[in-house]
A and B are shown apart, each in its own frame.
Chain A
Amino acid sequence: MSALSFQGLNVWFGEGRDRVDAVKDASFEVAPGESFGLVGESGSGKSTIMRALTGLAPHWSGHMSVNDRPVGRRRDRTFYKTVQMVFQDPYASLHPRLSVDQVLSEVLWLHGFGDIEPRIERLLDDVGLGPSFRFRYPHQLSGGQRQRVAIARALAPEPSILLLDEPTSALDVSVQAEILNLLADLRTEHNLTFLMVSHDLAVVAHMCERIAVMQAGEIVEVLGVEEMRAMKPQHPYTLSLLEASLGYRRESA
């Protein structure tokens, strides 16, 4: 049993001589309740894997499954009830002319819930926003509050799997700590499985148990967080990435 499984996944954009292979033969599995991280440079294909799973990147081949059910070309409502995504930029992912109430009730209505009123209140409570935020518009919220609304929207269909695409990279470190704590709490409370993309290795090490390292569309290594913290990866690329992320070292003249 696996919550998410990818076997020989290829994702590409464009055709002919413009074809770009964004993900090449990627395989990994995420167990239920696990938190799995994807790291790599920009353009290495980490977000593309998520986008292929959710149907945002239409050209793919290989095998993907959610809770052991294969994902086809068309995704049904159960898929979207199981898998939800939180995007990178809370300034761009919320509709500027819809209030928090409208955003959440639309999702709840689409998923066929009847008791929308109490659910909205519970969702806002879950993400640490009081009922006073319910009728605000995105421009009346700070970055951290917007990301909380985006998380509430993702939680609305009661998913078991959350895809987190750089959920805190647009936020200040103090706000990042709040959001990461919130995500950790929600994971315990709702028994969630996380697939998380981040370029910040410290964030991934804090949140995830296993980490896949990507380079130029390929997964070069899957390693446990302990090996990563101990700086003992198998692959030289992982080591260079780890060293680069530890910060700037002045070249000795």
Chain B
Amino acid sequence: MTDLLDVEDLWVRFPTRTGMFDAVRGVSFRLGRERLGIVGESGSGKSMTGRAILRLIRPPGQVDATHIKLDGENLLDKSEVEMRAVRGNRISMVMQDPKFSLNPVMTVGEQLIEAYQLHARGGQAEARKRAIEMLEAVSIRDAERVMRAHPHEMSGGMGQRIMIAMMLIPDPELLIADEPTSALDVSVQGQVLQIMDKLVQDRGMGLIFISHDLNLVAQFCDRVLIMYAGRVVETCDAHKLHEAQHPYTRGLLNSLPRFDAPQKRLEVLKRDPAWAEVPSVGPRA
């Protein structure tokens, strides 16, 4: 199987007053047509990894890597203009909070039509038709009304589904979802996940699912990278996450309150400075 995405030795650095800060330190992984989860605490570099793939890190931030290959093409060699053809068209990203990623002064329909026309040469009527189809694909009933509505009239769950619809219009090969369900209720979360799951299965799309929710990732993804302080400390099959070996992963899992079994006290994660020092786990480990 050829890899959809192949990232080798990725570093993201930010200059600060006290010297270089390494947000991502030597991360390597490969992705086929599967659901890859990236988990870790806030500040562990998981979102930065996602952004670096799309080259969305702005100066003074720096991105270095041996390569970031999408279907064998190195994204780092592309010019800014060429990158624009990759973003959206081939790799899409869904951000955490729909409130901040939709334009508040445009109707949902206008935004969806704009997204379509940017990526495909098509008439207004064609764009409209596709937009409504996409809204229906993310199980929004009453798509006609939603097209006329502004983002503030939508609930969080609907907003997030609209974002996903917008990302899917160009039919990307890879979707990077950065905490797509963190702002949503459990019941809506299930629907959004189902939509993404279906797209991976039906369209053969690759998915990078960034989340801090270990249980969710264990249930939803095929494979998981666990990040700590900018490094991948462990990678494992998602359904084996609960048998993970690394003390950090164990600590995170143990600090969760359990629904099925009452505990007297929750275990508190004890950090070992050595975790941050060991090199990242490689793609084939």
CB within 8 Å of B: which residues of A? 41-43, 143, 172-174, 176-178, 180-181, 184, 199-203, 205-206, 225, 229, 240-241, 244-251, 253
Q: For the complex, what is the distance from the CA of A43 to the CA of B188, rounded to whole Å?
A: 13
> How distant is the Cα of A43 from the Cα of B184 in the complex, in angstroms?
11
A177-B156 in contact given A205-B257, A249-B219 (Cβ < 8 Å)? no
Q: Are B269 and A251 in contact (CB under 8 A)?
A: no
Contact A174 B220 (CB under 8 A): no
Are A248 and B216 in touch, CB under 8 angstroms?
Answer: yes
Kindly state the separation between the CA atoms of A246 and B41 in the bound complex, as whole angstroms.
21
Task: Report how many A-B pairs have Cβ atoms within 8 Å.
Answer: 83
Evaluate whether A244 and B256 lie within 8 angstroms (CB atoms) in the complex, with A42-B156, A199-B185 already known.
Answer: no
- Taking a contact as CB atoms closer than 8 A, the residue among A42, A143, A206, A249 that contacts B185 in the complex is A42
**C-alpha spacing A112/B66, complex, angstroms:** 64
Determine whether the beta carbon of B216 is less than 8 Å from that of A247. Answer: yes
Is the CB of B74 closer than 8 A to any CB of chain A?
A: no
* A-contact bits for B154-166, CB 8 A (1 contact / 0 none): 0110000000000
B104 contacts across to A, CB distance below 8 A:
none
Q: Chain B's nearest CB lies how many Å from the CB of A215?
A: 11
Task: Note all chain A residues with C-beta closer than 8 A to B268.
Answer: 174, 177-178, 181
B257 with A206: CB separation less than 8 A: yes
Q: Which residues of B contact A200 (CB under 8 A)?
A: 257
| Cβ-based interface call for B265 (8 A) | yes
Name the CB-closest residue of A to B42.
A172
Main secondary structure of the interface of A (DSSP, over half): helix
Give per-residue flags for B243-277: 1 if the beta carbon is below 8 A from chain A beta carbons, else 0.
00000000110011111101101111100000000
In angstroms, Cα B258 to Cα A246, docked, is 10
Chain B interface residue count, CB cutoff 8 Å, equals 35
For residue B214, CB closer than 8 A to chain A, the reply is yes
For B256, list chain A residues within 8 Å (CB).
173, 177, 202
Q: Which residue of B lies closest to A230 (CB)?
A: B260
- The answer on a CB contact under 8 Å between A41 and B197 is no
Question: 1/0 contact trace for B215-235 toward A, CB 8 Å?
Answer: 110011000000000000000
A181 to B255 CA separation, bound complex (whole angstroms) = 10
**A173-B252, A174-B269 known; 13 other A-B pairs, CB under 8 Å?**
A41-B185, A173-B256, A177-B257, A177-B268, A181-B266, A184-B265, A199-B185, A200-B257, A205-B257, A229-B259, A244-B187, A247-B219, A248-B220
Give A247 to B238 CA distance when docked, in angstroms: 14
| Separation of A201 and B156 alpha carbons in the complex (Å) | 20
Question: In the complex, what distance in Å separates the CA atom of A172 from the CA atom of B179?
Answer: 13
Which one of B42, B257, B265, B267 contacts A203 once the chains associate, using CB atoms below 8 Å?
A: B257
> In the complex, are the beta carbons of B265 and A181 less than 8 A apart?
yes
Q: Which of chain B's residues 57-100 have a Cβ closer than 8 Å to chain A?
A: none
What distance in Å separates the Cβ of A180 from its nearest Cβ neighbour in chain B? 6
Contacts of A248 in B (CB 8 A): 189-190, 193, 216, 219-220
Nearest CB of chain A from residue B141's CB, rounded to whole Å: 18
Among B185, B187, B260, contact of A229 (Cβ-Cβ < 8 Å): B260
- Name which residue of chain B comes closest to A201, CB basis: B259
Whether A229 contacts B262 in the complex (CB less than 8 A), given A177-B255, A177-B269, A247-B219, comes out as yes
Q: Beta-carbon contacts of B12-51 to A below 8 Å, as 1s and 0s?
A: 0000000000000000000000000000011000000000
Shortest Cβ distance from A214 into chain B, in angstroms? 12
| Cα–Cα distance between A249 and B219 once the two chains are bound (Å) | 7
Q: Using Cβ atoms and an 8 Å threshold, which residues of chain B touch A177?
A: 255-257, 266-269
A241 and B259 in contact (CB under 8 A), knowing A174-B252, A181-B268, A248-B216? no
Q: B187 and A246: CB pair below 8 A?
A: no
- Judge if B194 is at the interface, Cβ distance under 8 Å: yes
Q: What are some 18 contacts across the A-B interface (CB < 8 A)?
A: A41-B187, A173-B256, A174-B268, A174-B269, A177-B266, A202-B256, A202-B259, A205-B257, A205-B262, A206-B266, A229-B259, A244-B189, A244-B190, A245-B186, A246-B259, A248-B190, A250-B197, A251-B194
CB distance from A240 to the nearest CB of B (A): 8
Residue on B with the closest CB to A42? B185
Asked whether, in the complex, the Cβ of A247 is within 8 Å of the Cβ of B215, the reply is: yes
Chain B 123-147 against A: per-residue CB contact (8 Å), 1 yes, 0 no?
Answer: 0000000000000000000000000
Contact of B259 with A180 in the complex, beta carbons under 8 Å = no
A248 CA to B216 CA, complexed, in Å:
7
Question: Cβ of B255: which chain A residues have Cβ within 8 Å of it?
Answer: 173-174, 176-177
C-alpha gap A180/B258 in the complex (Å):
13
* Contact present for B259 and A245 (CB under 8 Å): yes
Contacts of A178 in B (CB 8 A): 268
